[in-house]
Structure 1
Amino acid sequence: MNKILTVILLFFAAGTVIAAAPVYIGFDGGYGQKSDTSAKAIELGAQIAIDEINARGGVLGGRPLALLTMDNQGLTMRGRDNYVSLAKQQDLIAVLGGKHSPVIVESIPDAQLMKVPYISVWGSANQITDTITSDSYMFRLSLKDEWGVAALLAQAVNVSTNRKVCVLLPNTAWGRSGERVLREKALGTKANLTSVNWYNWGDKEFKTQLDACTDSGATVILMIANEPEGAQIVKEVAQKPQNQRLPIVAHWGITGGDFAALTGNDLNLVDLSVIQTFSFVNNTRPKAISLSKKVMAAQGVKSPALIHSPVGVVQAYDTVYLLAEAVNQAKSTQGVRIRNALEHLSPYDGAIKRYAPAYTAANHDALDRRQVLFVRMKPDGAIIPIR
């Protein structure tokens, strides 16, 4: 089992040392994947929130928050082992899940058994919260495929000239979640899913799937992918004659890695739009503006548009603040009491939106379709909202 464990502690509040024992938040991310930027972005957003909270005195009357991180390398069984390791840590109040939905889905039984909340701050597969019961420990502050993939389909129909949509899906829990939504929503939108094509993580060539798209008569590709496979798909589309380059409407996994470096100038040759739940660009929310300045300084970029994996940063940031409120309300670090507190939080004005409230006993998803927007990705790494 992967034992890489990073402990990030901050013991300062208003310039003085906090002597009390820390309260832990865990995060299991795909740090070991070469092109991934989502794990570091999530860690950064969580750590900025922790620093701010600790500077104001911490939680539970003076205890500092601390972040524990582990690397699942995108592997489901390693992620499951990591969740168990983190959940065993004394005074750990929750584990944050990263970009890979299959990793989170695999750990649902362990979360229910160990009674430590598992909160997805990126993974979008329906299964993460669709398994909700009266005592579910699965929560999410992120896009959910139920409405996110529906928005992708609507965007694809808008881009298409004949409502014919070709679909590319990974053979994972994430892809299967997307397929179920697409087939259901296509009936109500008069979209014609002309060809549904599967691929495996790690595939290096997509000629068969792209030829199937062309042969089906589709005029747009709906792509669910992370950055390694997504970049190769874009490069292969870019290599086609201009009149054969289908536009692509993409899920947000490609923004969780160094997509611009992987695609290069080919990104300029393809009409690509990508779903998001948030943008720092022209954002007027006070907490978003404050957070963007700290993130730009930490990442060494000069524009909010150049922030790496922005949804990972902001969703982790808001989640940590909600957890701080939950632990103070629970007056305990026990998982059962934290779970109950998460379902009964007071309204909170976050960087993304006002949560009023974030969760209820019947709803463990903090975001909804009203947060959806689409962006363009540029070869310099900029992520720009489509107006």
Structure 2
Amino acid sequence: MVHALTLNAGSSSLKFGLFELGDGRGDPTPRILGEIDRIGSQPHMRATREDGSVLSDAPLPAEDAADHAGALARALDLIARERPHAQLRAVGHRVVHGGPEHAAPARLTPEVLADLATLEPLAPLHQPHNLAGVRAALAAFPDAVQVACFDTAFHRHHPWVNDTFALPRAYYDKGVRRYGFHGLSYDYISGRLAEIAPHLHSGRVIVAHLGNGASMCGMIGGRSIASTMGFSALDGLPMGTRSGQLDPGVVLYLMEQEGMSVAEISDLLYRKSGLLGLSGLSNDMRRLEEADTDAAREAIAYFVFRIRRELGALAAALGGLDALVFCGGIGENSVLIRHKVCEGMGWIGLELDDARNARGETLVSTDLSRVRVLVIPTDEEIVIARAARDMLGRVG
């Protein structure tokens, strides 16, 4: 049976999945899903079969996953033991940045890989690790079709006013523009909404992808019109450790008055801010909800405030609102955050049903709410697997 491997490489993690491609008439079937985190320090691998049974949940020797190539080797060892007869014909990769040109998945040729490497300055904490996973897979599977799936691609059809900054036009031509991210998640939610609520999919929808990385996307007819993330994955909502929207004057102040270097500012904005910086406690929403401290409550309040503010802004960009969809680790699991975001939003036509929300149902708005509120678990891996299958079908 022909299979595809999906890889999602982060700064210190590697998510992987083995999908059976079947006859191409239905979705690829996940057989193994797993993740190795804390690569290079205290690596730990967790993997499950399609039925949810655990294949692995244990630490790895540090030397076995000192880098992404080592982590991939450990993942492949597990897959080989569990599925020794798998025919791996395609590998799909999540690549955060596709630049202004890539609006669809692309086969990873040497030329495309070189082009993507030039985008590393636009996503310095993501792109190098994505490409490290690509290079490790190319070495492990030189004969497989390798496919890049871009987080920016879903947003490449924005109107110009949602794509630009008020800088001299030459910078736009150089690639300084609003790209938007989390596109694989939004792609999945758009397709899923078309299946379960086509009347909403065809209308004006805001999707809130809330997790350690967080953003929101306004769609019309399933296509991205505006996003809270812009040039980088720093903009918009506060996140686990990222600042979100920030007056650029603050960066100038940090450079001029605090004497901070570019590396120090980058570390501050990407790794020490957001929920972690505000609370002084944790970037994990579950821990903040449990904590009985003023700082934790204030961090949650700011997170909710920014979501509500962006909800209004995106509704204005869409010319109205028909549905709000929550997804991501926080969006799918936090009853409290969904409640706080929707509380008092009747003015926009949105009314939450607290009982449905507490039960985690798909539809969590009241029957009388003009704006439907849904909770839809996202699945970036299946989007990557579909792209790998489709590319394999095209190239044979």
Q: Indicate the TM-score class for this superposition, using the shorter chain for normalisation.
A: 0.3 to 0.5
TM-score normalised by the chain length of structure 2: 0.33
Greater RCO, CA 8 A, separation 6+? 1
TM-score normalised by the chain length of structure 1: 0.33
